[in-house]
């Protein structure tokens, strides 16, 4: 089975951590909670979930993990300001390992310079940020573009978990970073938005 890192900081969206975590574990995968400070307790923004950071993102390597999941909420905004979180996310992507970014998590993709030329979805308020970063945004519950798997909202996290598990089982779909997908249906144009 795969070894998965869930990268999180305080004020994560509770169900966007809990549901993928449970589904990955139920499928037999080994899951580590990775964050800014090992041993720190972080609480979800709804106050329903509380987790302990098992490993510091400064101490982990893309070589130790097969995939990465980043829950949304306010956590990605804090993670994108951390050099090690950005480095780890980028290294995982460049190693062609699946990266799941839910809701507000595509902020971390932008900071890691992974959004350009990608078809993604997100919480609606990130649309302009993603377009300005060169992504092509679409309003779908889950979008797979090579090794980047994005999802919109807490309501979509079940579908996200299904797709993420399928990518783990079947492998990353063929697409090199920078290669344009052939299906243009329903995709916003990637022109600069002012």
- Provide the annotated active-site residues: 103-104
For residues 68 and 57, is the Cβ–Cβ distance under 8 A? Answer: no
- How many C-beta neighbours within 10 Å does residue 171 have? 11
Tokens of 13: 């969206």
Closest CA to 107 of 125, 131, 80, 87: 80
Half-sphere exposure for 48 (CA within 13 Å, toward CB): 8
Q: Give the containing element (helix H, strand E) for 67.
A: strand 67-70
């Amino acid at each position: 089975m795969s070894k998965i890192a869930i990268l999180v900081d305080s004020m994560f969206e509770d169900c966007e951590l809990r549901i993928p975590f449970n589904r990955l574990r139920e499928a037999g995968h080994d899951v580590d909670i990775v964050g800014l400070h090992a041993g720190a307790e972080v609480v979800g923004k709804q106050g329903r979930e509380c987790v302990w950071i098992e490993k510091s993102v400064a101490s982990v390597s893309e070589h130790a993990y097969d995939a990465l999941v980043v829950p949304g909420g306010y956590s990605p905004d804090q993670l994108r300001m951390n050099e090690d979180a950005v480095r780890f996310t980028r290294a995982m992507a460049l190693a062609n390992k699946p990266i799941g970014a839910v809701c507000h998590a595509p902020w971390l993709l932008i900071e890691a310079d992974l959004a350009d030329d990608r078809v993604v979805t997100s919480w609606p308020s990130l649309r302009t940020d993603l377009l300005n970063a060169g992504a092509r945004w679409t309003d779908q519950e889950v979008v797979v573009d090579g090794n980047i798997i994005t999802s919109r909202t807490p309501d979509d996290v079940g579908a996200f978990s299904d797709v993420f598990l399928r990518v783990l089982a079947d492998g990353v779909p063929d697409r090199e970073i920078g290669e344009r997908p052939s299906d243009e249906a329903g995709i916003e144009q990637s022109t600069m938005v002012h």
